[in-house]
């Protein structure tokens, strides 16, 4: 039984499903080596989310356009030869209990639906630290 509706083979035999289940450290190494791009990784993951989310209902807030924008920025840094963080280009999700800039955080409560917290650009919270390290987090999980 095929676990994924995607059958596209990447360089060196890495397919989209491999990208979805590869350990973060291995994925970061592949990105640094330029054998896969952050955009390829996010695109593969978004395809899986779009296929499975109706059944799983895993995300409180799903922001594919933000994820792709962050992946493009990460890829630009890789191609420019910039110094990269340990998990540069590796997408992560954040639990809906953690406030993230510009994204509704409802903490599992209908009362807080659509609640967007103000987070200063210089805040030292989890989202900002992740951005400094080069990984991007966009969707919030239930």
pLDDT tens by residue, 13-26: 788 899 999 999 99
Distance of CA 115 to the CA centre of its chain: 21
Phi/psi of residue 129, nearest 5 degrees: -65, -40
Q: Are strands 91-95 and 136-141 parallel, antiparallel or unpaired?
A: parallel
Q: What is the pLDDT of residues 64-76, one digit of tens each?
A: 888 899 899 999 9
| Spatial distance between the Cα atoms of 138 and 69, rounded to a whole number of angstroms | 10
Q: Identify whether the C-beta of residue 106 lies closer than 8 Å to the C-beta of residue 115.
A: yes
- Residues of the chain with pLDDT below 50 are 1-9, 121-133, 135
């Amino acid at each position: 039984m095929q676990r994924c509706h995607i059958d596209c083979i990447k360089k060196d035999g890495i397919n989209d499903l491999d990208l979805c289940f590869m350990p973060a450290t291995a994925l970061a190494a592949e990105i640094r080596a330029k054998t896969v791009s952050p955009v390829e990784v996010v695109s593969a993951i978004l395809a899986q989310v779009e296929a499975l989310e109706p059944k799983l209902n895993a995300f409180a807030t799903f922001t594919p356009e933000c994820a792709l924008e962050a992946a493009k920025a990460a890829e630009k840094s890789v191609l420019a030869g910039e110094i990269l963080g340990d998990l540069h280009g590796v997408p992560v999700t954040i639990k809906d209990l953690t406030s993230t800039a510009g994204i509704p955080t409802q903490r599992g409560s209908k009362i807080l639906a659509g609640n967007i917290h103000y987070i200063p650009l210089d805040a030292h919270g989890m989202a900002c630290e992740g951005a400094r390290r080069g990984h991007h987090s966009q969707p919030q999980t239930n």
